[in-house]
Structure 1
Amino acid sequence: MSLTVQLYTMLSMIGMGASLGAALDTYHRFLKRGERKRWLVFIYDILFWIGQALAVFYVLLLVNEAELRMYVFLALLCGFAAYQSLLKSLYMKVLNLLIYIFVQTFYFCVRVVQLFIVKPITILIHLIIAFVLFLFRLLIGIGTGLWKVIIAILRLVWKITFIPVRFVCLVIWKPLPNHVKIFIKRQAGLLKYFKKMKKHIFLIWELIKKKLGGPRK
């Protein structure tokens, strides 16, 4: 092995030792051991160290065709120690800053979705419910002679409003990650509105059946 190859090997292993320290801190930052089961942490630890070993081996293979010498381990240790003493505090600050930016960007996107998609849909649902209740009250006041006309109007309203809205909602809803869906459901209370709408629809349907099937004078 030439001196140039040895120098490249030393420098690359020092860099890999520093990157190992940064990867270890990043791993501990996201793992949160206290919140996970022990067997799952054990599996994660094994996979992490296997990945780091493969990365070191790959770099060593590129530099000196994977020849192991004693100074390779010393260079890794020196790089790791240099990271711990010189770069760790700076790296953790940068990492926490990037995590904060990502989280704030995520919540901003969720607020935008809630403001421009969720709220208009909920307002539209309230308007539709109010319109259906208005038609039902109008129907009771007019009598049973215009049932077919009112039902035709309701079907038309259904086709004009619910079907396009449902299509748009499905197109927007399906690509969203599951944690975004859960957050939107909790924040916007869509389930509450859907249950309320379902309750009104069943109530209207029962009253319609009672009106149609009841005794006539």
Structure 2
Amino acid sequence: MNPSVQWITLLWMLFSGAAMGVAFDSYRVLAGQLHFPKWSKHTLDFLYWIAAAFFIFRMLYFTNNGQLRFYVFVGLFIGVWIYFLLWSVITQRFVVMLIQVTKSILSFLYKLFRMLLWNPIKGILMLCLGLLRFLWKFLLSLLRLVLKCLMPFWRLLKWMLRPITSRVRLPAWSKQLADKVIKAWKRWF
């Protein structure tokens, strides 16, 4: 392997080490801000290291066909070290700012959704429900009025048919059914 490929590999490993630092700081800030459960932190750490290993070996394969040399580890270490010296605090603040901006945008979108869609639909449904209740009560009161107006005619018809109905014997089940209908009628009206 010629020296130019080695220097390119070293530079890419410096970059990869810095990228690992950015990813680690971003993950750490996200885990702190989003309050992941404690049991999931070990799994997320494991997934981070697997992703970092795949990323490093992909970069290594891209730069020098996957040859692993000592200067690769030196480049990774120096890249991570320089990143943590110079850029770690800036990255953490940037990620916190991104999280706050994302939260405020989501809060705004939620309020906009509630104001433009949810509240009008809820209002229309409540209006329709109120109208249905009003119509139901109106129909019941109208039916009561009609029944009160027809009550004298019913009593007259009952009095006129008394000689016939007194001789007719109805089965017991029809009496029970009539009692149930009368109870339901009295409960509603």
Taking structure 1 as the reference length, the TM-score comes to 0.63
- Aligned residue type for 1:5: V
Gaps of 5+ in 2: 147-180
Name 2:150's counterpart in structure 1: none
Name 2:143's counterpart in structure 1: 143
CA contact (8 A) 2:26 2:91 kept: no
Structure 1 residue runs of 4+, over 6 Å off?
none
Name 2:84's counterpart in structure 1: 84
More displaced 10-residue stretch of structure 1: 126-135 or 62-71: 126-135
**How far apart, in 1, do the equivalents of 2:183 and 2:136 lie?**
13
Q: In the TM superposition, what is the alpha-carbon distance from 1:211 to its structure 2 partner?
A: 9.1
Name 2:42's counterpart in structure 1: 42
Name the CA shift for 1:54/1:211 in 2 (closer, same or farther; >3 Å).
farther
> Per-residue CA shift, 1:28-52, capped at 9, x if unaligned?
12224975243x3222222210110
Name 2:168's counterpart in structure 1: none
CA contact (8 A) 2:17 2:79 kept: yes
> Per-residue CA shift, 1:48-80, capped at 9, x if unaligned?
101101100000001001111111111111000
**How far apart, in 2, do the equivalents of 1:131 and 1:211 lie?**
29
- Are 1:119 and 2:90 an aligned pair? no
More displaced 10-residue stretch of structure 1: 70-79 or 40-49: 40-49
Q: In the TM superposition, what is the alpha-carbon distance from 1:144 to its structure 2 partner?
A: 5.8
Name 1:214's counterpart in structure 2: 185
Query: Of the two, which has the highest radius of gyration?
Result: 2
Counting only pairs closer than 5 Å after superposition, residues 73-112 of structure 1 correspond to structure 2 as: 73-112=73-112
- Aligned residue type for 1:214: W
> Per-residue CA shift, 1:147-197, capped at 9, x if unaligned?
xxxxxxxxxxxxxxxxxxxxxxxxxxxxxxxxxxxxxxxxxxxxxxxxxxx
More displaced 10-residue stretch of structure 1: 28-37 or 123-132: 28-37
Gaps of 5+ in 1: 147-209
**How far apart, in 2, do the equivalents of 1:145 and 1:65 lie?**
94
Taking structure 2 as the reference length, the TM-score comes to 0.72
Q: In the TM superposition, what is the alpha-carbon distance from 1:124 to its structure 2 partner?
A: 1.1
- Aligned residue type for 1:73: F
Name the CA shift for 1:2/1:126 in 2 (closer, same or farther; >3 Å).
same
- Aligned residue type for 1:135: L
Q: Secondary structure at the match of 2:87?
A: helix
- Are 1:21 and 2:21 an aligned pair? yes
CA RMSD of aligned residues (A): 2.4
CA contact (8 A) 1:14 1:80 kept: yes
